[in-house]
């Protein structure tokens, strides 16, 4: 546990090494958080949920930091609103790194002196919480750089796992009762429980993700201009936001390019599609005469295909499983209160930290969100 904690903390800071100081503080839109805030918020989590509760005579690093770096935990008090995180020029970036060092050292001391199950469980949650923010940190850096007029490069050889060398095939699954949800003793979030049975009809699911070339055909066929392909809310969204292509596609005269963390490059038609919303995924599926899989179909079939390159939109609403129980106290706010008006995504992405996702992992976003590295797998 100590080693995984240390490695997780170090990896967050490693992700920041390509950045300049100015990169740590920008927030171009409300849903993107500054890098500095991610570094401090993940530290706050360990401090307020573990150190203040279990380390004798622990002193907060700074009495103002719980207000600055709480995210959405109402039970933990007041906080800076999400839209204003980028206004925090102070504390400085250096001070945030000092804060991380202070908390990391204190937690290492606690873990060395105590092996209480309750502490270890909370540290494990904190580790995976930080891994989630490592992915968010990359998502947010990409959004900032991808909307900069110079399209800065984050890392020139960063691999976004875009290549999938597979011929299109349809995998058949027979109808029947299937067990869904996390089983066993390994870590999972509460939203992956309780394991339960579901009945599925016969279905087929693609062995590979939709690629850029297929989506470009949809665009060239007028897909973004055909209201019959879109949900009503989706149609309103593409009209009001002037949506005409995936988030990071850019057209230079007659040539499409795509921004990735390794820079702006010509669009590779064979690369896996990424950064589309549920609205776009569903419209594309309808154009193809197919549909999106449900999250249960995805989980039953996932042993038959390769996954982890993109978060894959499903047709499932983000809802509690039967007999779902929220954790007591503030930690109960982690997942349960978001189970409304969101869609489930399964799999993982090139930004997902190692040893974090699994076949029962339930990611979730509002249907118009697309700054996460999301893609499409078809079903029928």
Judged against a pLDDT cut of 90, whether residue 99 lies above it is answered with yes
- pLDDT mean over 267-286: 98
Helix (H) or strand (E) holding 196: strand 196-200
Query: Does residue 82 form part of some domain?
Result: yes
pLDDT for position 379? 98
What does residue 255 show for φ and ψ, rounded to 5 degrees?
Answer: -115, 130
- My answer on whether 100 and 222 are in the same domain is no
CATH number of the domain encompassing residue 302: 3.90.1580.10
**Does residue 211 lie in a domain region?**
yes
Instruction: Tell me, yes or no, whether 321 and 193 share the same domain.
Output: yes
Q: Which helix (H) or strand (E) holds 97?
A: helix 93-113
Domain boundary among 79, 112, 147: 147
Q: What gap in Å lies between CA 121 and CA 50, rounded to an integer?
A: 10
Q: Same domain for 321 and 354?
A: yes
pLDDT value at 327 more than 90: no
- pLDDT at residue 330 greater than cutoff 90: no
Which of 85, 92, 97 has its CA nearest to residue 144? Answer: 85
214 and 132, same structural domain? no
The pLDDT tens digits of the residues spanning 183-229 come to 998 999 999 999 999 999 999 999 999 999 999 999 999 999 999 99
**258 and 325 housed in the same domain:** yes
The number of folded domains in the chain is 2
Q: Is residue 154 part of a domain?
A: no
Q: Is the dihedral of CA 55, 60, 66, 69 positive or negative?
A: negative
Q: Are residues 20 and 65 in the same domain?
A: yes
Could you list the residue range(s) of the whole structural domain that residue 134 is in?
1-147
pLDDT, tens digit (0-9, with 9 covering 90-100), for 17-76: 999 999 999 999 999 999 999 999 999 999 999 999 999 999 999 999 999 999 988 888
165 domain-assigned? no
**Residue 160 in domain:** no
Between CA 140 and CA 53 the distance in angstroms is 31
Q: Which two tokens stand for residue 281?
A: 């995924």
Find the angle CA(91)-CA(96)-CA(97) to the nearest 5 degrees: 150
Cα gap 363→139, rounded to integer Å: 14
Sign of the four-CA dihedral 24, 26, 31, 37: positive
208 closest CA partner among 280, 125, 304: 304
Residues 366 and 304 in one domain: yes
Q: In this structure, what CATH number is given to the domain that contains residue 72?
A: 1.20.120
- Same structural domain for residues 13 and 107? yes
Q: Which of 113, 147, 181 is the last residue of a domain?
A: 147
Question: Are 141 and 186 within one domain?
Answer: no
- Nearest CA to 365 out of 247, 256, 222 is that of 247
Residue 344 lies in a domain: yes
Judge if 212 and 119 occupy the same domain. no
Domain check: are 330 and 296 in the same one?
A: yes
pTM summary value: 0.96
Residue 374 CB burial class (10 angstroms; 0-12, 13-18, ≥19)? buried
Q: How confident is the model at residue 115 (pLDDT cuts 50, 70, 90)?
A: confident
Cα→Cα distances 11→105, 111, 121, Å = 16, 19, 21
Distances (CA, A) of 116 to 8, 49, 318: 21, 15, 33
296 and 330 share a domain?
Answer: yes
**Does the residue 153 lie in any domain?**
no
Out of 116, 147, 178, a domain closes at 147
> Which structure tokens are listed for 299?
């989980």
- Cα–Cα distance, 201 to 82 (Å, whole number): 42
Give the chain's mean pLDDT.
96
State the average pLDDT over residues 144-162.
97
Residue 110 lies in a domain: yes
Residue with tokens 């776009």: 280
Angle formed at CA 303 by CA 168 and CA 352, multiple of 5 degrees = 90
pLDDT at position 10: 98
């Amino acid at each position: 546990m100590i080693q995984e904690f240390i490695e997780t903390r170090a990896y967050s800071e490693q992700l920041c090494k390509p950045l300049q100081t100015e990169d740590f503080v920008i927030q171009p839109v409300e849903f993107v958080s500054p890098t500095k805030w991610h570094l401090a918020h993940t530290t706050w989590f360990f401090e307020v949920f573990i150190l203040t509760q279990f380390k004798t005579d622990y002193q907060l690093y700074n009495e103002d930091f719980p207000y600055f770096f709480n995210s959405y935990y109402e039970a933990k008090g007041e906080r800076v609103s999400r839209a204003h995180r980028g206004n925090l020029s102070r504390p400085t970036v250096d001070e945030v790194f000092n804060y991380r060092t202070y908390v990391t050292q204190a937690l290492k001391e606690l873990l060395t002196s105590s092996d209480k199950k309750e502490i270890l469980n909370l540290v494990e949650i904190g580790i995976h919480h930080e891994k989630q923010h490592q992915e968010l940190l990359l998502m947010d850096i990409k959004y900032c750089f991808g909307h900069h007029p110079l399209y800065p490069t984050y890392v020139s050889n960063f691999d976004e796992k875009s290549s999938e060398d597979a011929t299109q095939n349809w995998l058949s699954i027979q109808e029947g009762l299937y067990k869904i949800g996390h089983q066993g003793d390994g870590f999972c979030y509460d939203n992956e429980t309780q394991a339960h049975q579901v009945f599925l009809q016969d279905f087929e699911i693609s062995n590979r993700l939709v690629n850029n070339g297929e989506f470009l055909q949809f665009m060239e066929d007028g897909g973004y201009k055909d209201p019959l392909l879109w949900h009503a809310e989706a149609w309103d969204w593409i009209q009001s936001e002037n949506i005409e292509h995936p988030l990071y596609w850019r057209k230079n005269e007659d040539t499409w390019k795509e921004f990735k963390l390794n820079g702006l490059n010509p669009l590779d038609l064979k690369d896996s599609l990424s950064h589309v919303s549920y609205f776009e995924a569903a419209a594309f599926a309808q154009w193809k005469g197919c549909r999106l899989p449900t999250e249960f179909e995805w989980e039953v079939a996932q042993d038959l295909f390769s996954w982890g390159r993109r978060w894959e939109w499903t047709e499932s609403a983000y809802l509690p499983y039967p007999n779902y129980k929220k954790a007591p106290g503030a930690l109960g706010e982690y997942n349960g209160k978001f189970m409304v008006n969101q869609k489930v995504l399964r799999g993982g992405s090139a930004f997902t930290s190692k040893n974090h996702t699994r076949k029962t992992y339930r990611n979730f976003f509002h249907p118009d969100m697309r700054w996460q590295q999301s893609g499409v797998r078809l079903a029928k």
